[in-house]
Amino acid sequence: MTERDKKLLLYFLLPICSVGFLCWIGDMPTSKAGLETVRIGEIGYVDQHGCVAVDKDAHREFLNSAMASDAYGFVNLQLSGRVFCFDERTRVKVIETGVFIYKIRVLEGKHMGRAGWIAYEHVTKR
């Protein structure tokens, strides 16, 4: 490999690696339409009737059923226990973050103590 080839490779790999690194360190968004971000260990509130997937695969299936308007798919996820729903303004604790999603633990109501994944924009500090 010539010196010129190494430089070209560097010019192509550096931006790709930089984007990957930024995604890795920034997998918790810093703002949500002017609201403060809820961080790991902090208490937040679900801003609407929340549905939480018990794992990331169930979250992906939940999103796919919503995008496809697949009511049967959503009901199957609920009946299997892979998705559970609760009331608006339910108090939750953020226990883990992913790319645009939080893993939360429900702190009140009939699902108190259960944990699962929800889109980050549905959890607010107030």
- My answer on whether 57 and 13 are in the same domain is no
pLDDT at 80 over 60: yes
Average pLDDT in the 66-75 region?
92
Q: What residues make up the domain containing 108?
A: 31-124
What contacts 96, CB < 8 A, 6 or more positions away? Answer: 40, 102, 103
- My answer on whether 18 and 60 are in the same domain is no
Across the chain, mean pLDDT equals: 81
- My answer on whether 23 and 40 are in the same domain is no
Residue 108, phi then psi, degrees to nearest 5: -155, 165
Distance from CA of residue 16 to its chain's centroid?
A: 23
- My answer on whether 6 and 20 are in the same domain is yes
- My answer on whether 40 and 15 are in the same domain is no
- My answer on whether 12 and 59 are in the same domain is no
Per-residue model confidence as pLDDT tens digits over 1-55: 677 766 654 455 445 544 444 444 444 444 445 457 899 999 999 987 788 999 9
- My answer on whether 7 and 58 are in the same domain is no
- My answer on whether 60 and 78 are in the same domain is yes
pLDDT at 83 over 90: yes
The full length of the chain comes to: 126
Per-residue model confidence as pLDDT tens digits over 101-118: 999 999 999 999 999 999
